[in-house]
Amino acid sequence: MHKVTMLGTGLIGMFYTESIQGGRLSDVVQVVFSRTEKSAKAFAEKYGISKWTTDMKEAIEDPDTDLVVVGLPNYQHRDAIVMAAEAGKAVMSTKPLARTAAEAKECLDAVEKAGVFHGYLEDLVYNPKALKSIASIQSGAIGKVLWARSREAHPGPHSDWFWNKELAGGGAIVDMGCHCIEVTRNYIGKDIRPVEVMCWADTTVHPIDAEDFAIGLVRYENNAIGQFECGWNFRGGMDLRDEVSGTEGTIWLNHWLRTGFEMFSSGGQGYVAEKAEAETGWLFPVGDEHSALGYVGMFDDMFKSMEAGEEPSETFYDGYVVNAIMDACYRSIESKKWEPIELEWRYGEYKEEELARDYDADHFLIKTERMPDGRKKVIVKNKKTGKISQIVEEG
Q: Which residues pair with 299 in a beta bridge?
A: none
CATH number, domain containing residue 289: 3.30.360.10
Q: Are residues 306 and 380 in the same domain?
A: no
Nearest one of 73, 70, 95, 100 to 82, comparing CA atoms: 70
Cα 341 from chain centroid (whole Å):
18
pLDDT at position 361 is 93
CA dihedral sign of residues 338, 323, 274, 300: positive
Any domain includes 217? yes
Any domain includes 42? yes
Q: Are residues 332 and 272 in the same domain?
A: yes
Q: Are residues 330 and 216 in the same domain?
A: yes
**Looking at the predicted structure, is the pLDDT value of residue 337 above 70?**
yes
**Looking at the predicted structure, is the pLDDT value of residue 25 above 70?**
no
pLDDT at position 395 is 65
Any domain includes 171? yes
Q: Are residues 252 and 308 in the same domain?
A: yes
Any domain includes 351? no
In the three-class reduction of DSSP (H, G, I as helix; E, B as strand; rest coil), residue 45 is classed as helix
The tens digit of pLDDT for each residue in 170-189 reads 999 999 999 999 999 999 99
pLDDT at position 357 is 85
CATH number, domain containing residue 81: 3.40.50.720
Which of 84, 101, 122 represents a domain boundary (last residue)?
122
Report the C-alpha gap between 347 and 222 in whole angstroms: 14
Any domain includes 350? no
Q: How many domains does the chain have?
A: 3
Lowest-pLDDT range of 70-74, 193-197, 253-257: 253-257
353-372: average pLDDT:
87
Asked if 187 and 142 touch (Cβ cutoff 8 Å), the reply is no
Angle at alpha carbon of residue 176, lines to 330 and 132, rounded to 5°:
125
Q: Are residues 183 and 318 in the same domain?
A: yes
Q: Are residues 162 and 275 in the same domain?
A: yes
pTM: 0.92
Any domain includes 290? yes
Q: Which residues pair with 306 in a beta bridge?
A: none
The tens digit of pLDDT for each residue in 265-310 reads 998 888 888 888 889 998 888 888 888 899 999 999 999 999 999 9
Report the C-alpha gap between 195 and 174 in whole angstroms: 19
Which of 103, 122, 141 represents a domain boundary (last residue)?
122
What is the helix, strand, coil percentage profile of the chain, to 5?
35, 25, 40
Q: Are residues 109 and 139 in the same domain?
A: no
In the three-class reduction of DSSP (H, G, I as helix; E, B as strand; rest coil), residue 66 is classed as coil
Asked if 226 and 357 touch (Cβ cutoff 8 Å), the reply is no
Q: Are residues 36 and 15 in the same domain?
A: yes
Q: Are residues 44 and 130 in the same domain?
A: no
Confidence of residue 13 (pLDDT cuts 50, 70, 90): very high
Nearest one of 163, 168, 141 to 326, comparing CA atoms: 168
Q: Are residues 8 and 30 in the same domain?
A: yes
Residue 276 neighbours by CB distance under 10 Å: 20
Q: Are residues 263 and 312 in the same domain?
A: yes
Domain that holds residue 364: 357-393
Mean pLDDT estimate for the chain:
94
Alpha helices in the chain (DSSP H): 11-22, 37-47, 56-60, 77-86, 101-114, 128-138, 165-168, 172, 178-188, 289-292, 295-308, 316-335
Any domain includes 189? yes
Q: Are residues 114 and 214 in the same domain?
A: no
Q: How many helices (H) and strands (E) does the chain have?
A: 12, 19
